[in-house]
Amino acid sequence: MATVIKAACPLNCWDSCGFHVTIEDGRVAKIEGDPDHPITKGKICGRGRMLEKRANSADRLLYPLKKRNGQFEQISWEQALDEIAAKLTAIKEEYGTTAVLHSHDYANNGILKNLDQRFFNCYGGVTELYGSLCWGSGIEAQKWDFGNALSHEPNDLYNSKNIIIWGRNAARTNMHFYEKLLEVKKLGAKLYVIDPLFNATAKMADEHITIKPGMDGILAAGVIKEMLRLGLEDQAFIEQFTYGFPDLVKLLDGISLEKITDMTEVPAATITKLAYLYADKPTATFMGLGLQRYKNGGNTIRLIDALVAVSGNIGIPGGGANYANIQVGQSFAFADLTLPNRRKSERQFSIMKQAERVLTAKDPEIKMIFVTCGNPLTQVPDSAVVERAFSSVETLVVIEQFMTDTAKLADYVLPTTTAFEEEDFYYSSMYHHYVNYGPQLVTELPGEVKSDLWIWTQLAERLGFGADFHFTRDEWLNMTLKPLKEKGLTLEKLKEKGTLELPVIKIPWQDRKFATPSGKFEFTSQLAQQKGGTGLLTLSVPDESKWSNPELAQKYPYSLLTIHPLRSNHSQHYHLLGGNVKLKVEIASNIAAGLGLQNGDQVRVWNERGEIKGFVSILAAAHPNTINIEEGIWRRFGGPVNNLTSSRESDNGLGSTLYDCLVNLEKL
């Protein structure tokens, strides 16, 4: 008998879709969109549909594994948990709890996935990661400028006259935003895409503005400069609601428009045109995350924010500097869930540099690494160093669904549930503000897989803090929703409706009261000054560019982007695509012409950190000297591209420099 039940997509994505899942004979049979979901309206992508394959795949990990003499052996849960708990106890006594590293990322958007932090806090506090490979620089940048990183609600797009999509690959990564763009375009809004690649969003835009990677902040500076020259700025907003404007003017006086054109490789006429567009309000700006994965990434987002402010597009319907919407995640009771006060000691490594820190840490050295919801061997930059670090520790425990490149290195692999095998609720702080309920739809779990939460509970029991995990799923979920109860948002309602709108601000900063120290929009950031910086905007460039390192640029003339794949969510779908995944090296046509390359030619791409081999695909309208290789590809399919990327941190210390990467290329 088949039944269709409302559920939710757990994948790390802008869209956070509502699902209709068909269950047949106790198994997931089919996944479709929930037509009643207010934002996602019945449409979902292939990655969501393929969660059926993830659940039913014959390659799933089904039993706890232990490595002996280089080979995995199946062991009982009892043995795995007893041995891991014994190691945790011994490490705590001999070296202290921070000799354990918790390496994790965002592979699953369920709120209860955060209970791993509760476990490690109750254990006494381990070495945790800070910063984000994904969006770290931009979040910090917007905290400096506005006090928080907030976006307009999706339907505010109907109020925009002009829409600038700045480095967001919407057609591929944020499909419901893309659908809305198509709709408002038909209604008369004008769309502009600023991106080094002529992606599917650029194809439907009124204009595609191609730019040298990493130079968007300089472009924004140029547009502000033109606005000031032409008298197009919003003087009233600048005077009443901003702080530090003279510093910005001084900065712009130090550079000419010719120099800006030279650096950005964007014609002066286009810069002037953008100045008029920003003045023709309301103009909405939607930034992607690609454009801040550079050394100068924080400053880039800050200069774009500054442009939105100077043009008076902040706090008005149809406007906004839309990057992320972290008020969504801020709606829940995280501290109640994770118990940070239970930590007795702490240490933090940046997520970017976790591998180097593992190799060099002293007092204490890292003795054990726990990987949850992450696949660092493919996803963390500078893979060679990551491999060395994760192979170096005495004990590596990986909680996984599949035998990933990271799991292969483990001493213990613990098999965990996939989508629809446990109850949770799902949200994303990237785009819309609806939270989706995900019931447990499969009760007879394959093999001996267990939920992450079960694993934490069992280990907590053995380590003497089992009482901190004695809660039912309902109790956990209620604990998380506590701050929303007085606003009428309860677990019962969420279960009944499947989707609820969170009570968040829909048009941020409409009251012009900013969450910064001055209460104003800050061109010069006081928060940054409190942290020891100058807080000033700069005209900084990527670390790997001819402007910062001409010798390096001579040796490695091409900019490498490693954007998110179409058919996979990071590394989660490649092994389920069927057939051989062929690593594609997408190159701008000038590179092909210069080196005499044809589609399908095999090439080697390299720099000082490593190399990768793949097959050429020529991109007709990409920015000159630009290459793209999609991220997430497993070693057995020719990856990972992070062999080439650098683990440097961005300017504000909290983001990655994944796209700040020069390479060379040759035909094989």
Residues that bind ligand MGD (CB under 6 A): 12-14, 105-108, 113, 133-134, 166-169, 172-173, 194-197, 199, 211, 213-214, 216, 288-291, 372-375, 379, 399-402, 404, 416, 452, 561-566, 569-572, 631-632, 641-642, 645, 658-659
Query: Does the protein bind ligand SF4 through residue 9 (CB under 6 A)?
Result: yes
Helix (H, G, I), strand (E, B) or coil at 285: strand
Least Cβ distance, residue 418 to ligand MGD (angstroms): 7
DSSP codes of every residue in 376-433: HHHHSS-HHHHHHHHHHSSEEEEEESS--HHHHT-SEEEEB--TTSS-EEE--SSS--
Q: Rule CB under 5 A: which residues touch Mo ion?
A: 134
Interface residue with ligand SF4, options 6, 7, 11, 213 (CB under 6 A) = 11
> Which three-class secondary structure state does DSSP give residue 354?
helix
Q: If binding is defined by CB under 6 A, does position 545 make contact with ligand SF4?
A: no
Residue number with CB closer to ligand MGD (313 or 569):
569
Residue 164: which of ligand MGD, Mo ion, ligand SF4, none does it interact with, CB under 5 to 8 A by kind?
A: none
Nearest to ligand SF4 of 9, 355 (CB atom): 9
557-586 footprint of ligand SF4 as x/- string (CB under 6 A): ------------x-----------------
Binding partner at 374 among ligand SF4, ligand MGD, Mo ion, none, C-beta below 5 to 8 Å by kind? ligand MGD
Taking alpha carbons only, the member of 161, 178, 170, 175 closest to residue 195 is: 170
| Residues 268 and 261 sit within 8 Å (Cβ to Cβ) | yes
Q: What sign does the CA torsion over 258, 259, 263, 264 have?
A: negative
Q: Which stretch binds ligand SF4 (CB under 6 A): 45-53, 332-340, 403-411, 461-469?
A: 45-53
* Residue 435 makes contact with ligand SF4 by CB under 6 A: no
Position among 20, 21, 48, 150 found at the interface with ligand SF4 (CB under 6 A):
48
216 binds, among Mo ion, ligand MGD, ligand SF4, none (CB under 5 to 8 A by kind): ligand MGD
Q: What sign has the CA pseudo-torsion 591, 592, 593, 597?
A: positive
Q: Helices (H), strands (E): how many in the chain? A: 25, 27
**Which residue in the set 7, 28, 45, 289 belongs to the binding site for ligand SF4 (CB under 6 A)?**
45
By beta-carbon proximity to ligand SF4, the closer residue of 48 and 610 is 48
Question: In whole angstroms, how close is the CB of 404 to Mo ion at the nearest point?
Answer: 17
Burial group, residue 523, by CB count within 10 angstroms (0-12, 13-18, 19+): buried
CB of 178 to ligand SF4, least distance (A): 10
Task: Strand 18-24: give its sheet, edge to edge.
Answer: 2-8, 18-24, 27-33
| Angle, alpha carbons 390-392-395 (nearest 5°) | 75
Judged by CB under 6 A, which of 88, 129, 141, 175 binds ligand SF4?
A: 175
- With contact defined as beta carbons under 8 Å apart, do 529 and 631 qualify? no
Distance between CA atoms of residues 147 and 104, nearest Å: 27
- Burial profile 512-522: b = 16 or more Cβ within 10 angstroms, e = fewer: eebebebebbb
Contacts of 86 (CB under 8 A, 6+ apart): none
- Judged by the rule CB under 6 A, the positions of this chain that interact with ligand SF4 are 9, 11, 13, 15-17, 44-45, 47-48, 175, 569
